[in-house]
A and B are shown apart, each in its own frame.
Chain A
Amino acid sequence: MYRYDSYDQKIVDERVAQFRDQTRRYLAGELTDDEFRPLRLQNGLYIQRHAPMLRVAVPYGLLSSTQVRTLAHIARTHDKGYAHITTRQNVQFNWPELKVVPEILAELAKVEMHAIQTSGACIRNITSDPFAGVAGDEYIDPRPWCEVLRQWSTFHPEFAFLPRKFKIAVNGATQDRAVIQCHDIGLELKRDAAGEIGFRVLVGGGMGRTPIIGTEIIDFVPWQHIITYCEAILRVYNRYGRRDNLYKARIKILVKALGIAEFKRQVEEEWAFGKNGPNTLTEAEVARVATHFTTPAYETLPADDAAYASQRAANPAFAAWTRRNVLAHKVPGYAVVVLSLKDPSRAPGDITDAQLDQVADWADAYSFGEVRATHEQNLVLADVKQSDLFAVWEKARAAGLATPTFGLLTDMICCPGGDFCALANAKSIPIANAIQARFDDLDYLYDIGEIELNISGCMNSCGHHHVGHIGILGVDKNGSEWYQVSLGGSQGNDTSIGKVIGRSFAAAEMPDVITNIIDVYRAQRLEGERFIETVRRIGLDPFKIGVYGDAAIIERKQHA
């Protein structure tokens, strides 16, 4: 993974000094609340319900074991013993005191970490495929490009006060695992006819209040020009994006208002000036960054380890875990392990300081010292030998990190919601835990099969509810918490936005609602058909009948 040189280190060290002074001036009354707010947000610091919340950047989800140990230390020393993995592959601490945040940043800087631009109206953490470098369907490794973009976007002077936040994701595999269609800029690595690397660029996707799938603005930008092309997009957005209404300030609204043809014309006009300028990438720089992402020292191993096969045969629980949480690796004899953070006794995505320390140890022992965070709020050991899987499983199980439900109903994406977040309309964690408690039978979960259930506590959509096969959105009705259900959303190559099925529900109704939806699926599915495929084939009406009864449908049709 990328290691800092003296320049990278200096920038994060200078950031610590800058934020230390800003915090000092705020506490001394020299900065008002309004003046300090964007400064602390651009450093990932929110003032939440209970205390400040600090969001630490994990660029494109990659962590070293040393960094994981520092996160454990921070959770232990400055938080209440846990951390939270976010849907942007970042890490959040919920309880640090404002006055110690500069100290936390200094500790992070020692292990090449920071909280730069993890919030605020600026370019946010670049996200990517959590299986980058190991997935069999990858054709270009996205990580060097993510790092190049990270450096370009860090403290970009022109784009520090955009109309609104700006998110970029990069994918380089056949299957999109980075949700690039729901980003302000989605970048798809590709090759042209001559074999040269470049990017297909999507623009104006996003979730939030107005979910929109990104539109292709150009089908190929040669790699040398990707920064100047992004700068042209950002400049048009910075100048002409709406600033009068927070809810209409994302680039997707500008793209929609202008139409993609006119937006593209403005971007190309801008790009004509910046193209071939100094920010044009050089082969030397890309090569320098790419040397940090070389293949680790894999051993030559048989494709199928004999002991691994017999361990699976002898131990059904291990076999079940490997079927769900162990994924194919491009190198023979290796596997990708998903460490589940979806234990029903904890909030989805939460991990304790002790667990973090253990994960760091396993990374060192079994996976070249690296860990990845996923936007689905799990951790990944990407390079485990098949012959080590049993040992990893035993340790993970003992630590509560081997819930064998990756990709199933209870492996849900869930924002922190009203328990922590000041923006939320409703709690989301208790809904997640109630659904996990209802669906606690593994055989039943396996029978239901692959399904994505995503929960957001408000319209900001941190829980990605718009692209959940089942999406749950917390809404406020006259001061009480209600939940709206949508079906048919999807991430990946066939991204779609879910449709709301009808009136919202009280929290206590939610496990029954999900049960009713699943019952309709199980009754209607064809052989081998996944939930999302059934929804697409039969439409929403059978599910509405299952949830609301016939009367509701008949009444709606009469009113239509």
Chain B
Amino acid sequence: MPKLIKNGSVIDDAAQILVLDETQAPEALSLPEGPVFVPLAVWQAHKGVLSDNKAVGVWLDSHESVDDLAEDLDSLSAVALNFPKFTDGRAYSGAALLRTRYGFKGEIRAIGDVLRDQFFFMQRCGFDAIQPKTGKYSDAQLEEALASLQDFSAPYQAAVDQPEPLFRRARRAA
């Protein structure tokens, strides 16, 4: 079963990421069994039906805006943000906006080209679920990669995981 880092530990995760190929229209809905993340287009075409199904989350690609989900967040338990390449940093802003602007309390999952050296930044921006591609890391490597969540113990600036900057949290020596 695919692995997921959730709140700092590795767990099994059965959720599927539904990806439409070019021949599939979002209007033609065929959901797999069990928990699933559907593309934004599918969500928008079927949200009347899907919003009662707690097994359904939405995933956004990096060019898609979290603003387009703003009205729907109450009926969602999870949003996944895709990193098409790990150097595409748009999802960091997306996650931060979901947490701070829209007050989203559900799961925010990093999917796609997700590498351990970005875990720390992801966590700081509000991702509580991190899912490297299946096969990217062995189980042992994934356990070892948890250490990257703790790369820095006292960051300077405010972010989602630490809403106060260091200068407000600590009495610093002059």
Task: Tell me, yes or no, whether A121 is within 8 Å of chain B by CB.
Answer: yes
Task: Tell me, yes or no, whether A548 is within 8 Å of chain B by CB.
Answer: no
- Quick check: B153 and A156 within 8 Å, CB to CB? no
- Quick check: A10 and B153 within 8 Å, CB to CB? yes
Q: CB-defined interface of A155-174 with B at 8 Å, one 1/0 digit per residue?
A: 11111111000000000000
A-facing residues in B145-174 (Cβ within 8 Å)? 151-159, 163-168, 170, 172-174
Contacts A157-B124, A161-B88 given; indicate if A6 touches B151 (C-beta within 8 A).
no
- Quick check: B165 and A162 within 8 Å, CB to CB? no
- Quick check: A238 and B90 within 8 Å, CB to CB? yes
A-facing residues in B107-132 (Cβ within 8 Å)? 115, 117-118, 120-122, 124-125
How far in angstroms is the closest Cβ of chain A from B162?
9
Q: CB-defined interface of A217-239 with B at 8 Å, one 1/0 digit per residue?
A: 00000000001000000010011
- Stretch from A277-285, A407-415, A472-480 contacting the other chain: A277-285
B172 contact from A158, A160, A227, A288, Cβ within 8 A? A288
Task: Tell me, yes or no, whether A276 is within 8 Å of chain B by CB.
Answer: no
B-facing residues in A6-28 (Cβ within 8 Å)? 6-7, 10-11, 14-15, 18, 22
- Quick check: A10 and B120 within 8 Å, CB to CB? no
Contact-size category for B: 35 or more
- Quick check: B89 and A162 within 8 Å, CB to CB? yes
B-facing residues in A123-166 (Cβ within 8 Å)? 151-162
Task: Tell me, yes or no, whether A291 is within 8 Å of chain B by CB.
Answer: yes
- Quick check: A158 and B125 within 8 Å, CB to CB? yes
- Quick check: B89 and A7 within 8 Å, CB to CB? no
How far in angstroms is the closest Cβ of chain B from A464?
27
Residues on B with C-beta less than 8 A from A5 are: 172-173
Q: How far is the CA of A549 from the CA of B96 in the complex (A)?
A: 61
Contacts A7-B166, A39-B117 given; indicate if A277 touches B158 (C-beta within 8 A).
yes
- In the complex formed, the residue of A with least CB distance to B172 is A5
- Quick check: B174 and A288 within 8 Å, CB to CB? yes
Task: Tell me, yes or no, whether A444 is within 8 Å of chain B by CB.
Answer: no
Residues on B with C-beta less than 8 A from A18 are: 151-152
Task: Tell me, yes or no, whether A110 is within 8 Å of chain B by CB.
Answer: no
A-B pair count, CB < 8 Å, reads: 109
Residues on B with C-beta less than 8 A from A278 are: 158, 163-165, 168
Task: Tell me, yes or no, whether A35 is within 8 Å of chain B by CB.
Answer: yes
- Quick check: A160 and B154 within 8 Å, CB to CB? no
- Quick check: A7 and B170 within 8 Å, CB to CB? yes
Residues on A with C-beta less than 8 A from B94 are: 239
- Quick check: A279 and B157 within 8 Å, CB to CB? yes
Contacts A6-B173, A11-B156, A288-B172 given; indicate if A157 touches B167 (C-beta within 8 A).
no
- In the complex formed, the residue of B with least CB distance to A285 is B167
Task: Tell me, yes or no, whether B59 is within 8 Å of chain A by CB.
Answer: no
Task: Tell me, yes or no, whether B101 is within 8 Å of chain A by CB.
Answer: yes
Task: Tell me, yes or no, whether A243 is within 8 Å of chain B by CB.
Answer: yes
Q: How far is the CA of A127 from the CA of B86 in the complex (A)?
A: 28
- Quick check: A121 and B87 within 8 Å, CB to CB? yes
How far in angstroms is the closest Cβ of chain B from A1?
14
Residues on B with C-beta less than 8 A from A239 are: 65, 90, 93-94
How far in angstroms is the closest Cβ of chain B from A275?
13
Contacts A151-B166, A152-B157 given; indicate if A161 touches B172 (C-beta within 8 A).
no
Residues on B with C-beta less than 8 A from A235 are: 93
Contacts A11-B152, A155-B152, A278-B163 given; indicate if A35 touches B115 (C-beta within 8 A).
yes
Contacts A35-B86, A160-B92, A238-B89 given; indicate if A291 touches B174 (C-beta within 8 A).
yes
Task: Please name 18 pairs of A and B residues whose Cβ atoms are closer than 8 Å in the assembled complex, sorted by A.
Answer: A5-B173, A7-B166, A10-B153, A14-B152, A31-B117, A121-B87, A152-B165, A157-B122, A157-B159, A158-B93, A161-B86, A238-B90, A238-B92, A239-B90, A239-B93, A282-B167, A285-B167, A288-B167
Residues of B whose CB lies within 8 Å of any CB of A are 65, 86-90, 92-94, 96, 100-101, 115, 117-118, 120-122, 124-125, 141, 151-159, 163-168, 170, 172-174
